[in-house]
Amino acid sequence: MASAMNAIVGSVEPFPQPIHDTTVTDELTRILGMLREAAPKNATISFDFDGRLHVHVDVRTIEDVTRIEAVLPVLGRGMFHGLSRKATPHHPFYHRVSALVNC
């Protein structure tokens, strides 16, 4: 029985090390930084992905919505397109501007 245990212990290999590729994270961080510079200080910025990358900018005032809609199409050399206004889930006093992102 001891030889069976030695055979099992001797055949155990360590788990492979995870790949630490941060390419996607780095690109999202770059886009987020660009958006934070252009958006009002109290804006909430989020992303979602359903085969295409979407950005959502939630702001308090209609004036901020207008500013975001003016800035997004020219930000990042036209990286943001297909702008739309939507309801902000769970935040009835916010306004949401959404856009598709070309990376």
Across the range 31-47, mean pLDDT stands at: 96
Provide DSSP, 29-80.
HHHHHHHHHHS-TT-EEEEEESSSEEEEEEESSHHHHHHHHHHGGGTTTTTE
Q: Are strands 53-59 and 80-86 parallel, antiparallel or unpaired?
A: unpaired
Helix (H/G/I), strand (E/B), else coil: 99 = strand
Considering only CA atoms, which of 71, 68, 75 is closest in space to residue 97? 68
* pLDDT for res 17: 81
pLDDT value of residue 71: 96
43-70 average pLDDT score = 96
Q: Average pLDDT, whole number, for the chain?
A: 89
Say if residue 11's pLDDT is above 80: no
The whole-number average pLDDT for the span 9-19 is 77
Rounded mean pLDDT of 22-29? 93
Question: Residue 1 pLDDT > 70, yes or no?
Answer: no
